[in-house]
Amino acid sequence: MESARSKWLWAVGSLLILVWTAVPILWIVMLSFKQPGEVGNRHGFLPHTWTWENYRTVFRTGLFTSALVNSIGISLIATAVGVVFATLVAYAIARLEFPGKRAILSFALAIAMFPVVSLVGPLFDLWRDIGLYDTWPGLIIPYVSFALPLAIWTLSAFFREIPWEMEQAAQVDGATSWQAFRKVIVPLAAPGVFTAAILTFFFCWNDFVFGISLTSTDNARPVPAALAFFTGASFFQQPTTAICAAAVVVTVPVVVIVLLFQRRIVAGLTAGAVKG
């Protein structure tokens, strides 16, 4: 580990991975600053003339702004509902002995592994019949159910690390189970709850399959799906640059959140794996 040779290997390896992951993002950013007509006519990674034109276009179109509102609203609601459910379930799994505990955990795992695409068809029919098609709840429900497994697993790992004595002390001090949960366990598990919330939010924010299949209008269509319907400023141009600008707009919040909370996210994903 200490030798110069291995240091070099590490450096080269890191650089490769960095380039591999950063170039596509940078490319999109660069495209978003190019003139709409530049793509396909001029070569070069950097824009020939830098312009904010694409961003102006994106925010002028109702398609994008309503999709942005949908995305934010749906993701936030799904996150809130999912985290509340996941917290309660994870607490029960970590603390209580009840029949079917293993079944719940395996079931959650099975859902996480379930191919989402195979559900889209049936859901499409079902949603249309019961009037959930192209509505916010129509997206929130599948988001919550597919985000729950990860949130439950993350949170129960967190809950397991909180010493039992905390709760017992609270009970002896005069707390009901609910008070012990609310005043002692939840504050202590806050980092875990937070991590679960971020992960759930990303899942909803990034989803494309449900977004494109279960919506048909501006009513509920989220950004990833809306991008596919983009036409750009003029009918005669490829909307590549405008799509890229929209992509940058939706990527920025994710990048910012990750940068701010990367420590917590890593801690959340590895909780229980390593004693720390």
Positions in the binding site for other proteins (CB under 8 A): 163, 165-166, 168-176, 179, 183-184, 187-188, 190
Shortest Å distance, C-beta 183 to other proteins:
8
Nearer to other proteins, 94 or 184 (CB): 184
Nearer to other proteins, 99 or 174 (CB): 174
- Say if CB 116 and CB 209 are below 8 A apart: yes
- Separation of alpha carbons 269 and 153, rounded Å: 9
For residue 52, what is the enclosing H or E element? none
Nearer to other proteins, 88 or 169 (CB): 169
- Separation of alpha carbons 252 and 260, rounded Å: 12
- Separation of alpha carbons 107 and 125, rounded Å: 25
Nearer to other proteins, 125 or 173 (CB): 173
Shortest Å distance, C-beta 170 to other proteins:
7
Q: Which amino acid is at 142?
A: P
Nearer to other proteins, 2 or 165 (CB): 165
Shortest Å distance, C-beta 181 to other proteins:
13
For residue 7, what is the enclosing H or E element? helix 4-32
Q: Which amino acid is at 44?
A: G
Shortest Å distance, C-beta 189 to other proteins:
10
Shortest Å distance, C-beta 140 to other proteins:
31
Diameter of the chain measured on Cα atoms: 75
Closest CA relative to residue 35, chosen from 15, 11, 51, 21: 51
